[in-house]
Structure 1
Amino acid sequence: MYKYSDFDEKFVRERVAQFRGQVERRIDGSLTEDEFKPLRLMNGLYLQLHAYMLRVAVPYGTLSSRQMRQLAYIAQKWDKGYGHFTTRQNIQYNWPKLNDVPDMLSALADVEMHAIQTSGNTIRNVTSDQFAGAAEDEIEDPRPYAELIRQWSTDHPEFQFLPRKFKIAITGSPNDRAVVKAHDIGLRMARNDAGETGFEVIVGGGLGRTPMEGKVVREFLPKADLLPYLEAIVSVYNLLGRRDNKYKARIKITVHENGLETIRDLVEQEFTVRRAAFSGIDQEMLAEIKPAFPKPTYIQAPTDAFTTAYDADPVFRSWVDTNTVAHQNGDYAIATISLKKHGATPGDATDAQMREMADLAEAYSHDELRVSHEQNIVLPHVHKSHLPAIHARLVAADLATANVGLVSDIIACPGMDYCALATARSIPVAQEIATRFDELKLEHEIGALKIKISGCINACGHHHVGHIGILGLDRAGVENYQITLGGDGTETFAIGQRAGPGFSDTEIVPAIERLILAYLDLRENSDETFLSAYRRLGADPFKAALYPDAEKGRKHAA
């Protein structure tokens, strides 16, 4: 993985020292909160409902064991003993004291981490496929290019005050695990007719109050043109993007209002200018970055112990079947550690659990972990012979829930328990759904099903691309939960459609139960997923399950 250069080290240390002085001036009253706000946001510090929140960047979701241990130390020393992993592959601390934040940032700098550009109207943390560099279907590891984008975008003088926040995602596989079509810029590794590797460039995706699917602005971009082309896109947006209304300031609105062809023409014109200005410096940077992402030195060992344990232990077998996927190396597996124990807060990990995951990565995963946008932790390179030992240690650490991709593996934003923007709670709904289906013992029978919950229209829980999406709103001071159906964040991207009227906080879990039980009755066979059944049948039979009284009324009227 990438190691800081002398420049990186100096840059991050100077930012910590600068912010320390700003915090001191805020505490002694030299800075008002209005004056301090843009300064703290530039360093990832938010003011939430009850306390400050520090959002730490985990570039393209990659962590070393040393870094994970430091995140645990920060949680223990300056927070309440846990951290929250987010849908942008970051980690958030929800309870820091303002005077402690500079020390937290200094501790992050000790392990080559920071919180720069995790907030504000700038280019945010670049996200990627959590299986990058390990996935069986991968064309090429996208992380060197993600690191190139990180270096280019960090403190870029032209793009620090964009019309609105800006998010970039990149995947190296045809099977999209990075939700690239829901980003301001999405990059999908592709091959042209000549067999050359480059990028399909997608622009103008996004969720929030106006969800839109990103549009292809370039079907094939040579890898050598990546940075100048991205710079051209962001430059055009910086000039055209609206600043009169923050709800219409994202690039998706810019593309919608101006039209894709106009945007494409402007980008291509700007690209011609920007490409010449780079003079090859971007390729020199990439050449320095690529050696930091070598393939692991795979161990050679028999897998008999794995086969024996798999055949003998049904609990271990269930975990393997659910929480692991194929690796590029046939003797290896990619193992996902679920942070979604039934009834727990999705994405939370205690300091003790973080240390155990760090130890597992050091011992069994070539010293590497990944944060997934689905709020779980991944051990990307695990020899199959080590899976029984890993599972045993996960059981001891209360991290062995076998539910990845199932109904209880729910994405949920912090909601009204923490967020000042939220209009409803997300966490209790996620906990109740997970607990209910654990009681019913139906998760594995239901199969692949993605539920995503947001506590407000900003859609931090990605509800628009959930097979079942839940949006919490305020209706005259009462929490009301809308359901969307048929969303999909993969290569077959779709924005979910609203099913009908919302449900109260006491009605939402029974409604979800009716919906999923109806699916079990409607599917053709056990191999047909919820999403496939929805696409085959349409919304009507699912709406009938959600709103049985309305269905009875229609039948009575007929």
Structure 2
Amino acid sequence: MSDTMSQTAVAPAVGRYAYDQVDRTFLRERVEQFRDQVARRISGELSEDQFKPLRLMNGLYLQLHAYMLRVAIPYGMLGAAQMRELAHIARTYDRDYGHFTTRQNIQFNWIRLEDTPDILGRLADVDMHAIQTSGNCIRNVTCDEFAGAAADEVLDPRIHAEILRQWSTLHPEFSFLPRKFKIAITGSPHDRVAARFHDVGLVARPGEDGRAVFDVYVGGGLGRTPIIGVLLRDGLPEEDLLAWLEAIVRVYNAHGRRDNMYKARIKILVQALGIERFREEVDAEFAQMDRARYRLDPAIVAGIRARFAVPDLQAPADAAQRLQADRARTPAFDRWVRTNTHPHRVSGFISAVISLKPDGGIPGDVTADQMDTIAALAERYSFGEIRITHMQNVVLGHVREDQLQELWRELAAAGLATPNIGLVGDIIACPGLDYCSLANARSIPIAQKLSARFADPGLQERIGALRINISGCINACGHHHAGHIGILGVDKRGEEYFQLTLGGSGENDAAIGQIIGPALPEDETVDAIAALIDAYLVHRHEGERFVDTYRRLGAAVFKDAVYATT
């Protein structure tokens, strides 16, 4: 949005790019523009057909019961003040809660049209907006939730995600693409962003000279036609990142279909042309570009990096020992540490994952009071920095190990200490038919029943790593194709049924789940999932995840387990 190299830097915010006056002026102008558009819609000067593209460019959807506002959280990074503003919006303009999505954004589901300009104005006050959360443009870039903190990362992907945000925002050539376009980036060779299921996925790894390079995947996606992205470029140098992405999107914009929205995504174009032909097209576009203009100079990268504050990561020398002693004294805390933390690059620190999947709860939902609590805890324990994950949870990235038990106690008091990250209770679910006009079935009740069924922490740990994803329709906002167990809502003669898929994964072993049999009515679905898990527990080898056992045995054992009980 702003030319970083030509602006005077302002005090950076920890974890998030610091906006300057150019950014803030742009957001203010955008709010006032939309305020006029809303007034004209309310007065009848604009019809709904005329207003629709305008509201979508500002993240405003019309759903089953009300307007829904989707607020951008670029690469999932928030500050405490921003989280408090989201809490205020939830309390004042919605029904006291918000819903974090698989694109690291937040949705408010009960918004009045006349309130939206004021909401966007309040968001602008804290350097937030709803741009690129809808429409056929390059959407909010998603990122590794442990960026800048993970022990295994080769670069901090927030820096490059911010570069891509600035490059793509209001890009004159890419504002009206054939269809929406999604980019994900991880700074670790371990894929923590489902890169292979994006239009473009970027996975950083060490290059031959020790500098980080990117493996570029293209043409992935879920929805009606699930496809695993293919490797387009192996080892892309940092300096060519923008030029290469520009070439990819130019080819898509020129050749992507506009006659059929179901065949308009880049994954369809890549399949139609074949990866070799698509690569030739991109190479040709890249070859004729002004390389000097698009070169990502190290000075530009350094300028962007300087707009991120670096926390002062100083911990007592015995922080790790104190954590071990706390764990030994408190078994419940020890269990939470095992499931809800991630190794940090700095000795004495750890990243803590706050589950938004309480027993029997709605995945991704968080109340206004809980938002305020998270903001306060972030200030107390993690330099005011908050991260939203594509798994619909929250991360405090830099917690001292000797303060972790204190944090856990405060989370428990707020109902935010469920020890289930990566386990059967850590369910991903879209809002489904409770809110969405596109859905065939309700995702939320199934998620709640499964969460309650497997609430026992000991049982969850015994089951081990298991990813359950639920979508209310074929658009796959719950990423059911990428779940070890996927659940898809379908309509059968006006009744809600659920189709089960097995064997999916969004990680390095990316796979599309396969349908195992006929769809089931809602009252049989939870029992069917329990039967699948029972079969896994009987047949697994030591150390095998559910998905590994499924791949080793094939579908027959699991199919028999489900349909013998229905």
Please, what TM-score do these two structures have when normalized by structure 1?
0.96
Counterparts in 2 of 1:69 and 1:549: CA distance versus 1, 3 Å: closer
Query: Could you tell me which of 42, 53, 63 is aligned with 1:27?
Result: 42
Query: What SS does the corresponding residue of 2:58 show, helix, strand or coil?
Result: coil
CA distance in 2, matches of 1:72, 1:30: 33
Query: Could you tell me which of 355, 369, 388 is aligned with 1:371?
Result: 388
Question: How much does 1:367 deviate?
Answer: 1.6
Query: What SS does the corresponding residue of 1:506 show, helix, strand or coil?
Result: helix
Alignment of 1:146-225 (within 5 A): 146-225=161-240
Contact 2:193 2:390 in 1 (8 A): yes
Counterparts in 2 of 1:85 and 1:549: CA distance versus 1, 3 Å: closer
User: Does 2:512 match 1:512?
Assistant: no
Deviations 1:19-76 (A, max 9, x none): 0000000011110011000000000000000000000000000111111111111111
CA distance in 2, matches of 1:209, 1:80: 32
CA distance in 1, matches of 2:290, 2:493: 53
CA distance in 2, matches of 1:217, 1:383: 40
Structure 1 residue identity aligned to 2:445: P
CA distance in 1, matches of 2:497, 2:223: 17
CA distance in 2, matches of 1:385, 1:359: 18
User: Does 2:356 match 1:339?
Assistant: yes
Question: How much does 1:337 deviate?
Answer: 0.2
Question: How much does 1:138 deviate?
Answer: 0.6
CA distance in 2, matches of 1:325, 1:88: 21
Question: How much does 1:439 deviate?
Answer: 5.7
Contact 1:347 1:375 in 2 (8 A): yes
Aligned equivalent of 1:382: 399
CA distance in 2, matches of 1:280, 1:524: 50
Q: Which deviates the most, 5-14 or 85-94? A: 5-14
Counterparts in 2 of 1:158 and 1:533: CA distance versus 1, 3 Å: same
| Number of residue pairs the alignment of both structures matches | 549
Aligned equivalent of 1:238: 253
Query: What SS does the corresponding residue of 1:94 show, helix, strand or coil?
Result: strand
Percent sequence identity is 57
Query: What SS does the corresponding residue of 1:507 show, helix, strand or coil?
Result: helix
Aligned equivalent of 2:429: 412
Question: How much does 1:548 deviate?
Answer: 1.4
Counterparts in 2 of 1:440 and 1:108: CA distance versus 1, 3 Å: closer
Counterparts in 2 of 1:9 and 1:502: CA distance versus 1, 3 Å: same
Deviations 1:70-99 (A, max 9, x none): 111111111111110000000000011111
Deviations 1:198-255 (A, max 9, x none): 1111110000010000011111111011111101100100000000100000000000
Structure 2 residue identity aligned to 1:130: E
User: Does 2:524 match 1:524?
Assistant: no
CA distance in 1, matches of 2:59, 2:302: 30
Query: Could you tell me which of 86, 92, 115 is aligned with 2:130?
Result: 115
Contact 2:420 2:457 in 1 (8 A): no
CA distance in 2, matches of 1:477, 1:60: 39
Query: Could you tell me which of 13, 16, 19 is aligned with 2:28?
Result: 13
CA distance in 1, matches of 2:298, 2:314: 33
CA distance in 2, matches of 1:404, 1:368: 20
Structure 1 residue identity aligned to 2:339: T
CA distance in 2, matches of 1:348, 1:247: 30
Deviations 1:526-550 (A, max 9, x none): x221111112212211111111179
Question: How much does 1:411 deviate?
Answer: 0.1
Structure 2 residue identity aligned to 1:128: C
Aligned equivalent of 1:78: 93
Contact 1:131 1:380 in 2 (8 A): yes
Aligned equivalent of 1:315: 332
CA distance in 1, matches of 2:70, 2:494: 29
Question: How much does 1:441 deviate?
Answer: 5.3
CA distance in 2, matches of 1:491, 1:279: 30
Question: How much does 1:294 deviate?
Answer: 5.1
User: Does 2:369 match 1:352?
Assistant: yes
Query: What SS does the corresponding residue of 2:120 show, helix, strand or coil?
Result: helix
CA distance in 1, matches of 2:145, 2:294: 32
Contact 1:146 1:170 in 2 (8 A): yes
Please, what TM-score do these two structures have when normalized by structure 2?
0.95
Contact 1:231 1:274 in 2 (8 A): no
Contact 2:242 2:295 in 1 (8 A): no
Query: What SS does the corresponding residue of 2:68 show, helix, strand or coil?
Result: strand
CA distance in 2, matches of 1:9, 1:382: 31
Question: How much does 1:276 deviate?
Answer: 2.7
Question: How much does 1:283 deviate?
Answer: 5.5
Q: Which runs of 5+ in 2 are unaligned?
A: 1-15
Query: Could you tell me which of 484, 492, 495 is aligned with 1:467?
Result: 484
CA distance in 2, matches of 1:439, 1:272: 58
CA distance in 2, matches of 1:514, 1:189: 39
Counterparts in 2 of 1:388 and 1:232: CA distance versus 1, 3 Å: same
Counterparts in 2 of 1:440 and 1:107: CA distance versus 1, 3 Å: closer
Query: What SS does the corresponding residue of 2:209 show, helix, strand or coil?
Result: coil
